[in-house]
Structure 1
Amino acid sequence: MTTEALVRRPTFDRAWLPKYGVYAAIVLLVLYNVAFTPNFLAWSNLRIQLVQVAPIVIVALGMALVIGTEGIDLSVGSVMALAAALIPLYLGYGVIAAILVSLIAGVVVGLINGVLVARVGLQPIVATLALFVGGRGLALVISHGQLKDVRNDDLIFLGSGDFLGLPMLVWIAALLVLVVAFVVRRTVFGRRLLAVGGNRAATELAGVPVKRVLIGVYVLCAVLASIAGLLAVARIQSSDASSVGLLIELSAITAVVVGGTPLTGGKVRVLGTVAGALLMQLVIATMIKHNLQPSTTEMVQAVIILVAVYAARERKSR
């Protein structure tokens, strides 16, 4: 064996972890559950897991786009709460009107975040932290801090109905995955997004409208969070601004990082983000099924995040 081969071998052996580690972990966890968890493959259980992970996948898609520009968005949970608070107010005008108002709210929040980051020059974590706190407060003011029932068959169908044997939530999440993947891989906007995350200064020198790209990314992230919020209302058939989307930003960031998208920007792994969300959902479900304490689940999640971040750091350094 040559010296060159000896040098290259460890790089190849370890380079697979950020790319394929999440898929290997899912396979191992599924095999473990098939062997040791009763009724794991029952459709009722699989349906529950898919329905629970769908909103996280939708929010994580937007978070992946933001992280791809070397940013972060802590306001996605508050955007979900805001969308949830607006739904009952405008449902009397029809389900389409209520959905449009919720999406417009997401656009407005995304514009605020994008302008603060791109034009004012605030750090993304600072800019979005303001709406992380203020957005949920506004949602509570709109709803008067009260839980409101939602009784609209068309809206409820989006959250609880089935189509061709699968929950509508899953179909919607799958469609959004395809849309985001197309945007990232096949559009000029997607290429510019990755360029901004890879080297913002060089991208500006190349004449790319960096500020417009950043604003667009934050708008997309907030709109996806709005969709997740209205689907959450449709699923639970009620609007509670104090609980809808609470701490989902942490789950979304975890899914993105575990899925292999580097926090340093320049890449967006759409399929990896979906796999990351599925992995964390499987971890939580496995812990619950085996009667482990929530604190244990949190520690396991922390270890997974650390391994994912370390693997991405090692790969970048090489």
Structure 2
Amino acid sequence: MSTETVAARPVVDAARLKAWLPKYGVYAAIVLLVVYNIFFTPYFATWSNLRIQLIQVAPIVIVALGMALVIGTEGIDLSVGSVMALAAAFIPLYLGYGVVAAILVALLAGVAVGLINGVLVAKVGLQPIVATLALFVGGRGLAVVISEGKLVDIRNPDFLYLGSGDLLGIPVLVWIAALMVLIVGFVMRRTVFGRRLLAVGGNRPAAELAGLPVKRVLITVYVVCAVLASIAGLLSVARIQSSDASSVGLLIELSAITAVVVGGTPLTGGKVRVLGTVAGALLMQLVIATMIKHNLQPSTTEMVQAVIILIAVYVARERKTR
């Protein structure tokens, strides 16, 4: 065996590792955390604990799916938390007309916000972070005005079933999140819209020259993201059995962005990792739950999350550079 071959092996292995991490690193981290918790965290491997973790992560997964689509177009949406607050504000106002009517109004609020964001980005030409920052601030303020700053208890059993009911022994909220994952995954893999979205995110000028409806794609993506945030908002209200526009969805945009980045979707657009986004959300939920169960301070949890984000972004940058 030549000296050159021996010397080349570490380089090849390092290159393989760097290529492997963005795709599968999040899954490996989940496995390691689960194994650690099984041995060192009391009552971790129980159905009651698993149920709690799934219920808590479901709204984040739904919001993160929409965020992944927006990031796939090389954008960002900071208004998803405000959209959740708007949905929470409208639900108690229209529950008197029936559950379906209240849900439709909440979804229409999401459509309206998504249209505003999409038009500002696609037609006005504002940077996504600037366009959505306006509704990040103003949207929640509007939600608080609509609800008059009050916490309203929700007592409609049909609506509360969405947040606390079970179907085949699994929380309905988790079923809804799983359905959203399947729908988004199908759209990205099997539809023309999914291919157009990736083309726009990968190279917008080239997509325009190819005759793709770039502006329509961008507007649709922001509408879908806001609608998913509305769904997460109404599910959160159903879960906590009350509507508080000042707290529902607060800072969830950061959790969603974290899940997307950790899941392997690059901030530079052109790719959307649906299962990776779900895994990213699960990983961050496991990190938080592990630290809480071991009595670590919330500040420590936040610092660990920050380190995970930096590592994920660095790995993605290295991969793109290669």
Q: TM-score normalised by the shorter chain: which range applies?
A: over 0.9
**Superposed, which structure 2 residues align to 1:77-226 within 5 Å?**
77-226=81-230
1:8 Cα deviation (Å)?
Answer: 4.5
Matched, 1:42 2:13: no
State the partner residue of 1:249: 253
Which residues of structure 1 form unaligned runs of 5+? none
Matched, 1:33 2:37: yes
State the partner residue of 1:59: 63
> Which one of the candidate residues 279, 282, 285 is aligned to 2:286?
282
- TM-score after normalising by structure 1: 0.98
> Which one of the candidate residues 294, 297, 304 is aligned to 2:308?
304
> Structure 2 counterpart of 1:133, which letter?
V
CA distance, structure 1, for counterparts of residue 18 and residue 235 of structure 2: 39
SS of residue paired to 1:260: coil
SS of residue paired to 2:250: coil
Matched, 1:268 2:264: no
1:13 Cα deviation (Å)?
Answer: 2.2
Deviations 1:175-201 (A, max 9, x none): 000000001111000000000000000
SS of residue paired to 1:103: helix
Deviations 1:185-218 (A, max 9, x none): 1100000000000000000000000000000000
Over the matched positions of the two proteins, sequence identity in percent amounts to 85
> Structure 2 counterpart of 1:213, which letter?
V
Question: Alignment RMSD, CA only?
Answer: 1.2
> Which one of the candidate residues 18, 21, 36 is aligned to 2:22?
18
> Which one of the candidate residues 71, 77, 84 is aligned to 2:75?
71
SS of residue paired to 2:256: helix
Deviations 1:130-162 (A, max 9, x none): 000000000001000000111111110000000
